[in-house]
Amino acid sequence: MLSFILRRLGLAFFLLFVISLISFFIVTLTPGSPYPWGEMNPKISPELKEAFRKKFHLDRPLPVQYCLMLHDLFTGKLRSMKDELPVLRKILDRLPASLRLNITAMLFSLSCGTLLGIYGARHAGHWHDLLSSFLAFLLIALPSFWISYLVVIGLVKHVGIPILGTQSYGIDFPNEFSRWLDQTWHLMLPALILSLGALAIQSRYLRASMIETLREHYILTAQAKGLSSSAIFYKHALRNSLRPLITGIGMLLPSLISGTVIIESIFAYPGMGQLGYQAVLERDYPMLVALNFIVAALVLIGNFISDLLYAVVDPRVRLE
Amino acid sequence: MEQKKDYYQDALLKNHGKSLCYHFFRNPVALIALIIVLFLALVAAAVSILSYYGIEWPMNPNETHLNARLLPPGLEHWIGTDHLGRDVFSRMLHGTSISMTVGFTAVAVSLSIGVSIGSVAGYCGGKLDQILMRSVDALLCFPTFFLILTAVALLGPSLINIIVVIGLISWTGTARLVRAEFLTLRETEYVYAARILGQRWWKLIIKHMLPNAAAVILITAILGIPEAILAEAGLSFLGFGVQPPQATWGNIIADGKNYFLDAWWLIFFPGLAILITALSFYLLGDALREVTE
């Protein structure tokens, strides 16, 4: 097990290096001016421009820039080009809200996705299965911004329920519980919409893996022993099909974080997605590098943990 | 002998193709999806050709009528007008060709990268395979849409940039699948035979292995198209898609979101078009996969 962990750790560090390269060069190699005031602004003197270039190391060659940026990132000195606040602090400010949204969405998609997948596999080939497959593809194909707007129109215009932001403003909450309730309500809708696509993908994975498991010989054995079909299904087949679900969790995270860029801007939810969109609008290079890098690194950590879990559940993996 | 064998194989192949078609066309969902996809492709082509000859049907998508702003769906404007009095139906027709162009060409870009990297990694194996696949793993850690958004925003949003960026970033899935397929194909007898006969590796990949991986490649391509269409719609929605006045489904919604409490049709119909298009491609791809398995 130890050698497995060490090998995986080495791989993770290599991947981290590649991730840092990609996130740095995708931002710096794209043509276009890095200056917040535009390339040809006549009001900016050459001295000012030079000072700006020096401050953000733009006068150095690219490899040096890369090293300096990594160094600054890890020491927390990397500053946003827009307001010169430390990038790390801006991201950490948004992290709790973002985590709350993403974890809620992940719980939704795991639980409902599992249920939908089980339902599909249980009725494989039947019209129930066709319907659940259709539903899954409908959810994958659903543009999240479209459904968000339809829901907002429906709720705000016709029902009059406030849903934007993290909590209702201008209300004095009588106690902590009602404030918590209000915040939870505000969290639910974006989380639910965010989870839809991942939910559908999860259900497809589970359905495929269950149908494959049901073809195994030990299922035949269980049938021959005379076990009831539901016992075979839920005790033997389901348990053995849950393994791909663990790796599925690692794959879910990036798609969820991608989704937050759109969802957060619609629901005015102050998370990392909105920070990213803001940085894109302002062409804030250090912010973009840091965001891409940190998010990818988070996903990498998630994958690492799911790999370890996988090895705990299935000892065969350790030998690979 | 030689001729007889060929004939036999031909007959087998023909039957195989026939049975595939038979299974495919027996599935009503797949059939409807196919019809919708063909219809959309036809609409996209017709609109492009007609507007090339200066015929705008039913109306000019960019003609503004400020006295007919935000009209609800009716007889004259089938699905209403937007905030500048432009006919939304005409704009959606033009959006169809943009979406189809982005879908097909972005997939062509990602397919060519994914197939070449996947096939080389799967065929060669060893160190090269390790390096290529670990790079794919690294790329998979990134939130795809945010990476696309970053690159498109920095490059400047234009049709070409969007296509290239989507293609350059979304080839990882294809590469993985093609590699997995090649790992199994590599061990087949005809590949051994071809190698023993002295076939060069690139010729072996192109002539013998790729045709046998065609089903997998076709299916990933069809499943990649809706992803590209959805990505373009998302970019347009955030203001980094194909720029106005060129109409796309995404930027009709983006324009309409400022009036969403009064003009629901500006959001509802383009979104529905995106949904139906993406859904048809997904169902078509899934049906094909089921048939070939």
- DSSP string of B53-82, one letter each residue: TT--SSS-TT---GGGTTPPS-SSSTT-B-
Report phi then psi at A79, rounded to 5. -115, 150
Q: Does A19 touch chain B (CB under 8 A)?
A: yes
Q: Do B253 and A149 touch (CB under 8 A)?
A: yes
Q: Which residue in chain A has the smallest CA separation from B271?
A: A146
How confident is the model over B249-274, as a mean pLDDT?
Answer: 87
Q: Say if residue A35's pLDDT is above 80.
A: no
Q: Which residue in chain A has the smallest CA separation from B274?
A: A143
Average predicted confidence (pLDDT) for chain A:
83
**Any alpha helices (H) in A29-86, and if so which ranges?**
46-55, 62-75
How confident is the model over B31-45, as a mean pLDDT?
Answer: 92
Stated length of chain A:
320
Q: pLDDT tens digit string along A17-33? A: 888 888 888 887 777 66
Q: Do A143 and B153 touch (CB under 8 A)?
A: no
Q: Closest to A146 (Cβ–Cβ): which among B137, B145, B274?
A: B274
Q: What pLDDT score does A319 carry?
A: 67
Q: Which residue in chain A has the smallest CA separation from B252?
A: A146
Tell me the helices (H) and strands (E) count for chain A, helix number first. 13, 0
How confident is the model over A160-178, as a mean pLDDT?
Answer: 73
Average predicted confidence (pLDDT) for chain B:
86
Q: pLDDT tens digit string along A276-298? A: 888 888 888 888 888 888 888 88
Give the best-scoring range by mean pLDDT among A33-37, A154-158, A303-307, B44-48: B44-48
Q: Do A255 and B226 touch (CB under 8 A)?
A: no
Q: What pLDDT score does A40 carry?
A: 67
Closest Cα partner for A57 from A32, A87, A28, A85?
A28
Query: How far apart, in whole angstroms, are the C-alpha atoms of residue A132 and residue A120?
Result: 6
The 3-state DSSP class for residue A34 equals coil
Q: Does A27 touch chain B (CB under 8 A)?
A: yes
Name the band, by pLDDT with cuts 50, 70 and 90, for residue B290: confident
A265 CA: distance to closest CA in chain B (Å): 9
Q: Say if residue B151's pLDDT is above 80.
A: yes
Question: 75-134 in A: which are within 8 Å (CB) of B?
Answer: 130, 133-134
What would the two tokens of residue B231 be? 């990505």
Q: pLDDT tens digit string along B172-219? A: 989 999 999 998 888 889 888 988 998 888 888 888 899 888 888 999
Q: pLDDT tens digit string along A199-226? A: 998 898 889 888 888 888 988 998 899 8
Name the band, by pLDDT with cuts 50, 70 and 90, for residue B35: very high
Q: pLDDT tens digit string along B247-258? A: 889 888 888 888
Closest Cα partner for A73 from A98, A92, A59?
A92
Q: Say if residue B146's pLDDT is above 50.
A: yes
Q: Do A134 and B29 touch (CB under 8 A)?
A: yes
Percent of all residues in chain A with a pLDDT value above 70, rounded to a whole number: 94
How would you classify residue A154: left for phi > 0, otherwise alpha for psi between -120 and 50, otherwise beta?
alpha
Closest Cα partner for A85 from A296, A232, A320, A284?
A284
Q: What pLDDT score does A296 carry?
A: 85
A262 CA: distance to closest CA in chain B (Å): 7
Query: How far apart, in whole angstroms, are the C-alpha atoms of residue B227 and residue B107?
Result: 9
Question: 156-195 in A: which are within 8 Å (CB) of B?
Answer: 156-157
Query: How far apart, in whole angstroms, are the C-alpha atoms of residue B242 and residue A284?
Result: 22
The amino acid occupying position A183 is Q
Q: What pLDDT score does B174 carry?
A: 92
Chain B residues whose beta carbon lies within 8 Å of the beta carbon of residue A147: 271
- Residue whose tokens read 């106690």: A175
Q: Closest to A288 (Cβ–Cβ): which among B150, B230, B283?
A: B150
How confident is the model over B221-245, as a mean pLDDT?
Answer: 90
User: pTM for this one?
Assistant: 0.88
Q: What pLDDT score does B9 carry?
A: 57
Q: What pLDDT score does B1 carry?
A: 42
Q: Closest to A149 (Cβ–Cβ): which among B142, B155, B260?
A: B260
Sign of CA dihedral B269, B272, B276, B277: positive
Q: Closest to A19 (Cβ–Cβ): which among B141, B153, B156?
A: B141
Q: What pLDDT score does B17 carry?
A: 67
Q: Say if residue B277's pLDDT is above 90.
A: yes
Q: Does A223 touch chain B (CB under 8 A)?
A: no
The domains located in chain A, with CATH, are: 2-319 (1.10.3720.10)
Who wins on pLDDT, B104 or A61? B104
Chain A residues whose beta carbon lies within 8 Å of the beta carbon of residue B278: 140-141, 143
Query: Cα A227 to the chain's mean position, in Å?
Result: 41
Chain A residues whose beta carbon lies within 8 Å of the beta carbon of residue B275: 138, 141-143, 146
**Largest interatomic CA distance in chain A:** 86
Domains of chain B, by residue range, sit at 2-56+93-292
Is the CATH number 1.10.3720.10 carried by domain B2-56+93-292?
yes
What ranges make up the beta strands (E) of chain A? none
Name the band, by pLDDT with cuts 50, 70 and 90, for residue B11: low
Query: How far apart, in whole angstroms, are the C-alpha atoms of residue B82 and residue A83?
Result: 37
Q: Say if residue B4's pLDDT is above 60.
A: no
Chain B residues whose beta carbon lies within 8 Å of the beta carbon of residue A159: none
Q: What pLDDT score does B166 carry?
A: 93
How confident is the model over A55-81, as a mean pLDDT?
Answer: 79
Q: What pLDDT score does B63 carry?
A: 78
Q: Closest to B237 (Cβ–Cβ): which among A26, A130, A262?
A: A262
Q: pLDDT tens digit string along A82-117? A: 777 888 888 888 888 888 888 899 889 888 998 999
Q: Closest to B147 (Cβ–Cβ): which among A26, A143, A146?
A: A26
Q: Do A143 and B29 touch (CB under 8 A)?
A: no
Q: Does A278 touch chain B (CB under 8 A)?
A: no
Cα–Cα distances in angstroms (integers) from residue A80 to residues A22, A295, B149, B171, in the given order = 19, 17, 19, 31
Q: Does A274 touch chain B (CB under 8 A)?
A: no
Q: Does A153 touch chain B (CB under 8 A)?
A: yes
Q: Does A265 touch chain B (CB under 8 A)?
A: yes
Chain A residues whose beta carbon lies within 8 Å of the beta carbon of residue B282: 137, 140-141
| Range in A229-243, B118-132, B137-151, B152-166 the model is least confident about | A229-243
B198 CA: distance to closest CA in chain A (Å): 33
Chain B: residues touching A (Cβ < 8 Å)? 29, 134-135, 137-147, 149-151, 153-156, 226, 230, 233-234, 237-238, 240, 253, 257, 260-261, 264, 267-268, 270-272, 274-275, 278-279, 282-283, 286
Sign of CA dihedral B185, B186, B189, B195: positive
